[in-house]
Structure 1
Amino acid sequence: MRQIILSTFIWIAFGITALAQVTFNITSVPANTPDGAVLYAAGNFNGWEEGSSDYAFTAAADGTYTLTFEPDPGTLTFKFTRGSWATVEGNADGGFLPNRTLEYGGGQLEVDLEIVSWEGDSPGSSTAADNVTVVAEDFYMPQLDRNRRIWVYLPPDYTTSTTDYPVLYMHDGQNLFDAATAAFGEWEVDESLNALFENGDDGVIVVGIDNGGAARLDEYSPWVNPSYGGGEGEAYVDFIVETLKPHIDENYRTLPGRAHTGIMGSSMGGLISLYAAIEHQDIFSKAGIFSASFWFAEACYDHVGDRGKQEDMRIYMIAGAQEGSNGQQVADMMAMKQELLAAGFEESEIVAVGHPDGTHAEWYWKREFPAAYEWLFGNLTTGVSEDARDFMKGVEVFPNPGGDTVYIELPEEKPGLQCRVFTAEGKLVRLIQPDGQRMSLTGLPPATYLIGFYLKSGHSLGMKRLMVQK
């Protein structure tokens, strides 16, 4: 009897296991799908292998595709490909499509799905400016044995000048220039820089590096998060430093030195940007850190302390009070600022701004990009930069510490000169048109401030530090 009961239990268990399966039915694919293409599912149920034969769909004569597999219950995260991340599915505009998710509680589940486009197949809705091009769709990353699309923005006068330009490296290239490839809206980096150029800015080259989709979390952190991945960030940064930067410097008119090289990103891109800047202070002198995911790896704070200050830097951080619970993103940013100060960086090298309306979204980063760019690259662009440095050497602000009134001594007249007063954290608190040499600071509470000097065109000449006492 015991043997019969045991056998019955085995058959029941087998039956339950056999019923634990998910079937994906792809009911339609884009019209430009190649004849005979094999479709695959890649997700957290197969280690994100983009072309695994065990997860290949079976094509039917009516143009539909079917895949049945047996995942563990839980949240399934996945995408469809034609065998590689270079042929991954896209959104309705041919742009980046976030991971699909499906809550699977066990048993048999059948789901009908559609593939609306293949990423990169835009229906003509590109918003990229004419001075944005793709360096390569499949630029090889030897440190990771992967390929990636690389974008480049060139200043409007690049083809008609002989000027060498600073370079800013940015992550999540899909979201920087083109709405057709951006999942949640673009940063409009090209539009912002073109507008600044029209107002007197001398220009910068921007290199955009597409994220790796499912590999994004792994590549954007050198430290492993047990729940989310990571661990490939060092290799990813080595790719930028050892492979991509030399290629850009060789093929474009750049100012290759650290004084003219920056790195910028948001969210996980902010985390990897700070890591890159601190780890390679010999390469980067400036970093834009937007809504950084410092929570992903607490070791990022120790890394700053361990490496310490080796070179002068400019670090511009922003975070929104609407990010995280109870403004946690802003608190994390301010904790990082304190870590940077403890590591030897000066107040004047760090901007850390919290915005009450800031959310974890492209619209926020788009809005804040111009200010970050101007602060990071102020006095470092070509053309008038040397004149600006000479001008600022002769600027005196006194008394310092000061009270309600201070005086400015200029080495020469600058018609339309405007002064902008910032807190030490980089928050703009006052615009002032100097009355001769006199500048009123009435109403400003005692604190340390930065006074920025700007031409009528909006071009930054530089900053002076001022302590206000009452």
Structure 2
Amino acid sequence: MRRPCLPGLTLLLAAALAAAEAPRPSTASDRVEVLSPPLLHPALPFARSLRIYLPPGYAASDRDYPVIYLPDGQNLFNDATSYVGEWGVDEALDALAAEGFEAIAVGIDHGGERRMQELSPWHNPRFGEPLGAAYLDYLVETVKPFVDANYRTLNGPESTAIVGSSMGGLMAHYALHARPEVFGLAGVLSPSYWYHEAAFHYPQNRPRPAQARVFLSMGGAEGHEAVAHVEAMERLLRRWPDADGVRLRIVEAAEHNEAQWRTLFPEVVRFLYRLPPAQGG
């Protein structure tokens, strides 16, 4: 039997490793702007880059647009900056724009190793000091005023959504209840309700946000406990007078990943903004 040529095999392995480590090409729309330097709140420990998507008709119009805020900005628009794949928010909103709905999307980059803390409103001893309340203050006191001052926005809660997944989903749900005068719409995808039982106590102890709309989701492959948690939250929220403002989607075969959230994102936007369902949907 002929043995492989070791020098040749070494070169092949080196080439494979180099290819694996090569930067991925950008997939972001040319209407996604990365703001630099990051926005800093003078009293809070946050300075985050923003990734701002402007709809196709923005430059040629003088109208104001609804705004969708999303944590984990690195994963939203660009495969090159994503963890394991992007959400395709720009492509999804471009497709909705072709149907007549246009919105601005604002991605807030996460803080890397501090992500769990900054997206947690409550203390979990496994993850250290919770910074979620301060993070929400940063969104409300720094990010949103900047966006409203520099872009043409519809800035009322009925036009302002926050959409996140996992810990970002937990933050989106917290924001809806903590600052209902700011966020009237929430996309809560694969939320980390396991993080703290206060996730269930908090909405029970606060009044229903006026005209709020919430889209909840979970992948069936994320586990029985995760599905049970989101179903329990749906039952809790359906006690609101306007139960039609709550929707739950269990995606049976879906796992806890960007592929699920990418698929769901257009449906989330349609529900939150009362758009017609997709043709054939």
Give the structure-1-normalised TM-score: 0.53
> Which has the bigger relative contact order, CA under 8 A and spacing at least 6?
2
Aligned AA for 1:92? E
Deviations 1:221-272 (A, max 9, x none): 1101111235110000011111110110000000011111010100000001
Whether 2:120 is the aligned partner of 1:224: answer: no
Aligned-partner SS, 1:160: coil
Alignment of 1:318-467 (within 5 A): 318-324=217-223, 327-342=224-239, 344-378=240-274
1:142 aligns with 2:42: yes
How far 1:163 sits from its partner (Å)? Answer: 1.4
Q: 1:265 to 1:143 in 2, by over 3 A?
A: farther
Give the drift of 1:291.
0.1
Q: How does 1:41-440 map to 2 (within 5 A)?
A: 92=21, 123=23, 125-198=25-98, 200-324=99-223, 327-342=224-239, 344-378=240-274
Distance, in Å, in 2 between the alignment partners of 1:216 and 1:124 is 23
Contact 1:320 1:358 (C-alpha < 8 Å) held by counterparts: yes
How does the TM-score come out when normalised to structure 2?
A: 0.88
Letter in 1 for 2:170: L
Correspondence for 2:17: none
8 Å CA contact 1:143, 1:235 repeated in 2: no
Name the CA distance, whole Å, in 2 between partners of 1:270 and 1:230. Answer: 19
Distance 1:137 1:361, change over 3 A: farther
CA contact (8 A) 1:139 1:149 kept: yes
Deviation at 1:202, TM superposition (A): 2.4
Say whether the 8 Å CA contact 2:237–2:243 is kept in structure 1.
Answer: no
How far 1:186 sits from its partner (Å)? 0.3
SS of equivalent to 1:256: coil
Distance in 2, Cα, partners of 1:250 & 1:374: 26
CA distance in 2, matches of 1:233, 1:160: 38
- Cα distance in 2 between the residues matched to 1:92 and 1:156: 34
Q: Which runs of 5+ in 2 are unaligned?
A: 1-19
Counterpart-to-counterpart distance in 2, 1:320 and 1:345: 27
Count of matched residue pairs: 261
Map of 1:445 onto structure 2: none
For 1:439, the equivalent position in structure 2 comes to none
- Paired with 2:226 and 2:194, the residues of 1 have a C-alpha distance of 8
Structure having the larger proportion of residues in helix: 2
Structure exhibiting the larger radius of gyration computed from Cα positions: 1
User: By percentage of residues, which structure has more strand?
Assistant: 1
**Contact 1:291/1:318 (8 A) holds in 2:** yes
Secondary structure of 1:269's counterpart equals: helix
Q: Distance in 2 between matches of 1:142 and 1:294?
A: 31
- Could you tell me how far apart the structure 2 residues matched to 1:143 and 1:337 are? 36
1:146 Cα deviation from its structure 2 partner: 2.9
Q: Secondary structure at the match of 1:138?
A: strand
1:370-395: CA deviations, max 9, x gaps? 0111111125xxxxxxxxxxxxxxxx
Q: Deviations over 1:18-69 (max 9, x none)?
A: xxxxxxxxxxxxxxxxxxxxxxxxxxxxxxxxxxxxxxxxxxxxxxxxxxxx
CA distance, structure 2, for counterparts of residue 148 and residue 125 of structure 1: 23
Q: CA deviation at 1:196?
A: 1.8
Distance in 2 of aligned mates of 1:362 and 1:204: 21
Amino acid of the structure 2 residue aligned with 1:368: L
In 2, the alpha carbon distance for the partners of 1:322 and 1:209 equals 28
Gaps of 5+ in 1: 1-90, 94-122, 380-452, 461-470
**Cα 1:330–1:220, aligned 2, differ >3 Å: closer, same or farther?**
same
Aligned partner letter, 1:357: A
Output one character per residue of 1:307-354: Cα deviation in whole Å (capped at 9) or x when no partner. 121411110011011003xx2211110111122234x35320100111
Aligned alpha-carbon RMSD (Å): 1.8
- The code of the aligned residue for 2:270 comes to E
**Do 1:221 and 1:231's aligned partners in 2 also have CA atoms closer than 8 Å?**
yes
Question: Do the aligned partners of 1:341 and 1:347 also contact (CA within 8 Å) in 2?
Answer: yes
Distance 1:303 1:196, change over 3 A: same
